[in-house]
Amino acid sequence: MAHGKWIGSGTCPIREIILVNDYSKDNSRQVCENLGKRYAANIIVIHHETNGGQHRALMTGLRNSRGNLVVLMDDDMQNPPSEVTKLINKINEGYDVVIGKRMVSTKQRVSFSNFLIMRREIVTKITEDQSSDPVIHGLILQSTANTTNVLTVHNPRKHGRSNDTVARLFKHWLNVSSYISPSVSYSLALLIIMMIVGLSVTTYYFLHR
């Protein structure tokens, strides 16, 4: 599926939509093209000719964005577009980045998700990164500490399934940890390893009991 960005300026929820088709093998290319033709004044369609992964697709969208406020949003509709208003209202309180947070309790100061809004200044800093394997969350941590969460609706996935595997998630969060202090990085890596070991032991127990 394509990765979409809903972009706003001021109090207007949508000024520009960028659809990045990351070499999807379904009909995403044609769907994006149809939307681009139907709403040519507001939708920009970009196709990757190879599958580069979600964060490269997001970087492509960021580099082609023009709004003062940029919203990153997956196309699976687990976060309803109407929730963008919550992000806009919160960032207007003076934050650089506001991240949608599932409605669950957590002790983390800031919880990360793929549903977030950032100011143009942060987009500019992030898009200066020239690495071949960018990590958007890590670049946000590197760019600003003025971040916060806002509670948003997160619906179950209705179609398809996530491409994320335990190995891919492990690699992603290790990459994120490289952007923060060593002590936090080691703690995060240790926590992830403990979670994987615990999951493996539990799976083995249920398969062999």
Q: How many CB atoms lie within 10 A of CB 155?
A: 11
pLDDT digit string, tens, across residues 62-89 = 999 999 999 999 988 899 999 999 999 9
Listed as own residue / partner, the contacts of 109-112 with beta carbons closer than 8 Å and 24 or more positions apart are 110/147, 110/148, 110/149, 111/149, 112/137, 112/176
d(CA 99, CA 16): 20
pTM of the entire structure?
0.75
Q: Would you say residue 10 has pLDDT above 60?
A: no
Q: Which two tokens stand for residue 177?
A: 């940890």
Q: Which residue has the tokens 């964060």?
A: 55
The pLDDT of residue 118 is 97
Calculate mean pLDDT across residues 103-131: 86
Q: How many CB atoms lie within 10 A of CB 61?
A: 24
Pairing of strands 147-151, 97-101: parallel
The pLDDT of residue 158 is 73
d(CA 11, CA 34): 28
Q: Would you say residue 184 has pLDDT above 70?
A: no
Average pLDDT along the chain:
80
Structural element, H or E, at residue 13: strand 12-21
The pLDDT of residue 191 is 53
